[in-house]
Amino acid sequence: MRKDDLALYFSGETFCDQNGQLLTEQDTPLASRARLLELLKQICLNGEFDCTDTGNNTWLYTLALDENAMKSIAYAAAPEMESLPVALSSGSVQVMVSGTTIKEVDCSCTGGLEGLEEAAPVTVSAKLVFEQSGELTVPGAVKDQLIQRGGSNHGE
């Protein structure tokens, strides 16, 4: 995962930068995005999608979210929501695939403050765009750090 000059590599609960320096979620907001990505992966693996052919060898997969999935995504995207009396009423994950490549993942959850849904609406959304600019290479220091901290040498 990359933002500006920082590249974030992760495996399980271990995060490090492109130099193999360990990072925590407090060190970089990208770590929370990595957690959101992992959560979305698990939800998608366990869900059933509707698929729409949008043309040009591109498909849009849509998954309606249940209450538990909506809360998990909302709290991962906006941790401060956990302490608020929010009721989420609808949510979905959309995955755009072009050829055999995931291009973006877009998720949205809507609702409102409990008892005030109409007067105080709440929306949490996140859009993850995947761009690959060439072959993916993982620096040796990063591999060493992630494997040492519990990852594997088999692509994890």
This prediction's pTM: 0.70
* Highest mean pLDDT out of 95-99, 109-113, 152-156: 95-99
Q: 57: which residues sit within 8 A by CB, 6+ positions away?
A: 98, 99
Using alpha carbons only, give the angle 91, 47, 24 rounded to the nearest 5 degrees.
75
- Residue count of the chain, please give it: 156
Is the separation of the CB atoms in 69 and 88 below 8 Å? no
Residue 89 one-letter amino acid: S
If we measure between CA atoms, which residue out of 18, 35, 1 comes closest to residue 146? Answer: 18
Amino acid 1: pLDDT: 61
Residue-wise pLDDT tens digits, 16-59: 777 888 777 666 666 666 777 778 888 888 889 999 999 999 99
Is the separation of the CB atoms in 32 and 3 below 8 Å? no
Residue 155 has pLDDT above 50, yes or no: no
